[in-house]
Amino acid sequence: MAVCETCGNDYEMAFEIRAQGATHTFDSFECAIHKLAPRCEHCGVTIIGHGHQVEGSFYCCAHCASAASGASTVDHA
């Protein structure tokens, strides 16, 4: 049995995710995303897909990246 780091649920199907050298335990992907996913620096949305990284900052889409940083990036269609 393992306890979820995000919500504290003790769940027999809990799983581990290794990120940046540390191992984290979660009971659901939602809890893992809540804890580990970066957030868009412009709108605060949780970035679950690839997102955009501009000069060390994460953005959910090209619109936010260019609005916040002035950089011109484009979404992959």
> Judging by beta carbons within 10 Å of its beta carbon (0-12, 13-18, 19+), is residue 27 exposed, middle or buried?
buried
Selected from 7, 17, 36, 37, the binder of Zn ion by CB under 5 A is 7
Q: Could you tell me the smallest distance in angstroms from the CB atom of residue 25 to Zn ion?
A: 9
**46 is a site residue for Zn ion (CB under 5 A):** no
**27 is a site residue for Zn ion (CB under 5 A):** yes
Backbone Cα Rg of the chain? 15
Q: How far apart are CA 30 and CA 54, in angstroms?
A: 26
For Zn ion, the binding residues (CB under 5 A) are: 4, 6-7, 9, 27, 31, 40, 42-43, 45, 60, 64
